[in-house]
Structure 1
Amino acid sequence: MSDSIFEKQRGKAADAVDSTSRRQQNELAALAETIRKNHNLLKENLDRLQNSLDNLRLIAKYRIFDLEATRRENTQLRRLLDERSDQTPPKE
């Protein structure tokens, strides 16, 4: 739920609360405050989750880059070893 929709709905709820008895107003006001806190907590958790996913994507990209570099290095080293073994005379 976007912030503007949430605020609009909260405004409607506040208007409805004003038309009720004093006891109900207190109960509804407490409930509205709980909902507001939960909404803010949900937004914070969603932001943390998004940041965690961004970090995970970055780590995955780095790991793939590192794996590709390691494969290239291994290929070069194997080529060097093969060239060396071809150049050294066999032992008798």
Structure 2
Amino acid sequence: MTEKEFQDKLGELMQQIDRLPADQRGDLHRLVDETKGRHDRVKKTVAELQEALDYLRLSVKYLVFDLEATRRENEYLRKLVESKGGEYRDQPPDDADDR
């Protein structure tokens, strides 16, 4: 149901309620007002969820981009180390903790 259809149906309902005797209208008007409020809250919540999903999609795209860049860099560095032969393998590890 679209927003326009909802508003049209709610308007029709209000017109039908207005034709009822006064003693029966009060509770029904209150229920219609509650329904409007709930509908507005649902619309707001759906909009917030959509915004959160959009942000999540963007974040995932950035993470995938970063992962791909890291993999490319890793591959490049591995090839660089392999092209140097065993040059770096024979050296002892840097003991930065001993300082």
Q: TM-score, normalised by structure 2?
A: 0.83
Structure 2: tracts of 5 or more residues without a match? 91-99
User: After superposition, where does 1:1-92 map in structure 2 within 5 Å?
Assistant: 1-85=1-85, 88=87
State the distance in 1 between where 2:51 and 2:15 align: 37
State the distance in 1 between where 2:35 and 2:15 align: 16
Q: Which amino acid aligns with 2:28?
A: L
Could you say which structure has the higher helix fraction? 1
Structure 1: tracts of 5 or more residues without a match? none
Report the secondary structure of 2:85's partner residue: helix
Q: Which amino acid aligns with 1:13?
A: L
List 4+ stretches of structure 1 deviating above 4 A: none
State the distance in 1 between where 2:68 and 2:18 align: 65
State the distance in 2 between where 1:77 and 1:23 align: 82
Q: Which amino acid aligns with 2:20?
A: T
Q: Between Structure 1 and Structure 2, how many residues are aligned?
A: 89
Report the secondary structure of 2:20's partner residue: coil
Report the secondary structure of 1:85's partner residue: coil
User: What RMSD, in angstroms, separates the aligned Cα atoms of the two structures?
Assistant: 1.6
State the distance in 2 between where 1:40 and 1:63 align: 35
Q: TM-score, normalised by structure 1?
A: 0.89
